[in-house]
Amino acid sequence: MQKLFNRFIKINAFILIAMTTANKTQGQEVGRYANVNGIKMYYEIHGSGQPLVLIHGGGSTIQTSFGKIMPMFAKTHKVIAIELQAHGHTSNRNAPTSFEQDADDVAELLKQLNITGADILGFSNGGNTAMQIAIRHPERVRKLILASAFYKREGMYSWFWDGMQHAKLEQMPQLYQDAYLSIPGNTQAGLQSMHDNDAGRMQTFVDWKDSDISSIQAPTLVIVGDQDVVRPEHAVEMYRLLPHGRLSIFPDTHGSYMGEAMSPNPDSKVPELFVAMLEEYMAAPMPGAK
């Protein structure tokens, strides 16, 4: 895992502050909580229009994953950004994290918000959660966007799994640690628990079946960087399994195409292109529509 982190630690903490400021330019903070399956789940709603759900990556928050692009999407969509179990502002439960449980939590929140047929963008581990929502709760999904997600261990490079077996909190990027600890009420013990749960989930991950992926009927856009932690060949494999799949490969690293907090070039214009591409994808007619 150290090799993974060393690849991406190229920016300073001020980027996180800049993203938070950009987010607030769209209006006042709109953080809310809902009681969901035994946890207190934090979410934010920005903008109006067709619902777009944002699901962050492992060890992350809404801001570290989506701080740069969320204000752009809020101009045209009702953005519902969620923090999953033990992440950010959301409480933990006395049970390990799992993609299936995270999917059930998001689906329950959307049920409480009376939202069906949302577009869902999941990044990294959030993409795995988004896949499980489409599999377990298809009525909640209109279109699916899987950014740097995987469904088989071979989809990630071997060095990632080698590092994950010996993952330690001190190897977690300081930017992510600071983002978590900057939230009032969060503690070092909570940070350790989040890290251990996320690491454990990856260490024990068992491949999903091809039939699980091919069962997803929602139109799905698979996105990956050519220098990602997910192998481009795996993204192609996922794309070919999906009944209504599309594919995009950016010349970028893990999440840098959307301005994720660890992006090496905070001045890149690629995130704007990413948003424009997704806006066009989400606005396109559904398969079979006349």
What pTM was computed for the model? Answer: 0.91
pLDDT, one tens digit for every residue, the chain (290 residues):
444 434 433 333 333 433 343 344 333 447 999 999 999 999 999 999 999 999 999 999 999 999 999 999 999 999 999 999 999 999 999 999 999 999 999 999 999 999 999 999 999 999 999 999 999 999 999 999 999 999 999 999 999 999 999 999 999 999 999 999 999 999 999 999 999 999 999 999 999 999 999 999 999 999 999 999 999 999 999 999 999 999 999 999 999 999 999 999 999 999 999 999 999 999 999 998 76
From CA 2, how far away is CA 240, in angstroms rounded?
Answer: 32
Hey, what are 180's tokens?
A: 């978590």
For the chain, helix (H) and strand (E) counts, in that order, are 12, 8
> What's the pLDDT at 288?
81
Which stretches of the chain are assigned E, i.e. beta strand? 31-36, 39-46, 51-55, 78-83, 118-123, 141-147, 220-227, 245-253
Cα→Cα distances 185→43, 61, 90, 169, 182, Å: 17, 15, 11, 19, 9
For residue 45, the cross-strand partners are 80
Helix (H, G, I), strand (E, B) or coil at 80: strand
Return the domain boundaries, the chain.
1-61+76-96+116-132+161-212
CA dist., res. 201 & res. 205, Å (int): 6
pLDDT score recorded for residue 290: 65
